[in-house]
Amino acid sequence: MALLNTTASCNVTLDTDHSYSWPALFILVIIFFTIAGNILVIMAVSIESKLHNPTNFFLCSLAVADMLVGFLVMPISLISILYNHTWPLPQLLCPLWIFLDVLFSTASIMHLCAISLDRYIGIRNPFSISHTQSSRKAMIKIITVWTISIVLSLPIPVMGLQDEQKVFIDCACVLNEPRFILVGSIVAFFVPLVIMVVCYYLTLHHLQKHSKSFPHDSKSSCMHSSIETSDTSFLNSKSSSKMSAFPVIKRSPLKSRQGMNRALENERRASKVLGIVFFLFLIMWCPFFITNVLNAICRDNCSEYVHKLLDIFVWVGYVSSGVNPLIYTLFNKTYRQAFARYLRCKFH
């Protein structure tokens, strides 16, 4: 294979003038909090029964992807920076590292897209499935998300192992296949991004419509049936699964109306938190993907500043992997209390 024939022309030397010392220290802090924060999220969803609902299962799987970015992608990128953006590791590892990088970023956007789509469908059809069925379907959807992400990323190691020029530019480990970059960016980022934004908007619109129409609808509906609803709430399933997504239960119209108001408020708060997650992901990854597409289009005609911007924007994207635990801490009481206990080594 071509990768086994390492060229001796690359000057792979560690930076010794300490110009990267403070940036490297800052990056190490980011890596630490990315790994630690996402481990806390995984523990919270695994341990806390209040968080056992489909949306949180998606967020747990998203945390796994973000944690692996901190474990496997960021440290190697930091090593590359310390070696003046040349690849100091065995060349065979380069396409595998790019594969993991693309895989986890693709998995992140696919998870957010799936969360947005799943919540919209759940709110549109709140009486379709039980909590057990919805949890089982969520697991199937999570497996599907990871499968799609792997399939979209798999051509990278195949290309790189066949031709080292596809993953090396001037001794730097960089994907060098413009057509794949263009198609991959559209399929793995921009299309899911559009779906995510549209579904989120439709979810808010549907919540607003039900908020206005509920006082009339509740009186006619609550008198007739008792239906177990799907759990679409981002908050705790124990307290809200029975009233999440517009429940209808046998009780007086006044109590039903109060329960509906609580359910709507839960969904609005959940949408607020998820909206912040979506928005931050968008603004932190869009610069990289837009610049990457421009770089693939202009290729050799691009300014050197474009390459420098890519080096900066990719780290802005990496930082997004450590932001979500902070959002959950600030805006969700259950996560906040769980994190506080775990940090004191109290797990029950």
The 10 Å Cβ neighbour count of residue 257 is 16
* Amino acid 255: pLDDT: 54
Nearby residues of 24 by Cβ (< 8 Å), 6 or more positions away: 78, 81, 82
Beta pairing partners, 173: 168
pLDDT in tens, the chain (348 residues): 444 444 446 766 666 666 667 788 899 999 999 999 999 999 999 999 999 988 899 999 999 999 999 999 999 999 998 888 889 999 999 999 999 999 999 999 999 999 999 888 877 776 555 555 678 888 999 999 999 999 999 999 999 999 989 999 888 999 999 999 999 999 999 999 999 999 999 988 888 877 666 554 444 443 333 323 334 345 454 444 433 333 333 344 555 566 666 766 777 777 888 889 999 999 999 999 999 999 899 877 777 788 889 999 999 999 999 999 999 988 889 999 999 999 999 987
* Amino acid 126: pLDDT: 63
Cα distance between residue 139 and residue 117, in whole Å: 15
* Amino acid 228: pLDDT: 34
CB contact at 8 A, 97 and 76: yes
Q: State pTM to two decimals.
A: 0.83
Tokens standing for 29?
A: 């802090």
Tokens standing for 82?
A: 């310390």
Q: Please, what are the domains in the chain?
A: 19-343 (1.20.1070.10)
* Amino acid 243: pLDDT: 35
Give the residue ranges of DSSP H helices in the chain. 21-47, 54-68, 74-82, 93-124, 131-153, 155-162, 178-185, 191-221, 237-240, 253-298, 304-319, 324-331, 333-343
Cα radius of gyration (the chain): 23
CA distances, 38 to each of 57, 69, 95, 133, 257 (Å): 13, 10, 26, 27, 38
Residue 74 has phi, psi (to 5 degrees) of -60, -45
Tokens standing for 164?
A: 């080292």
* Amino acid 237: pLDDT: 47
Q: Residues in the chain, how many?
A: 348
* Amino acid 224: pLDDT: 38
Cα distance between residue 152 and residue 184, in whole Å: 7
CA distances, 337 to each of 41, 269, 331 (Å): 12, 18, 11
* Amino acid 246: pLDDT: 33
105 half-sphere exposure, CB direction, 13 A CA radius: 29
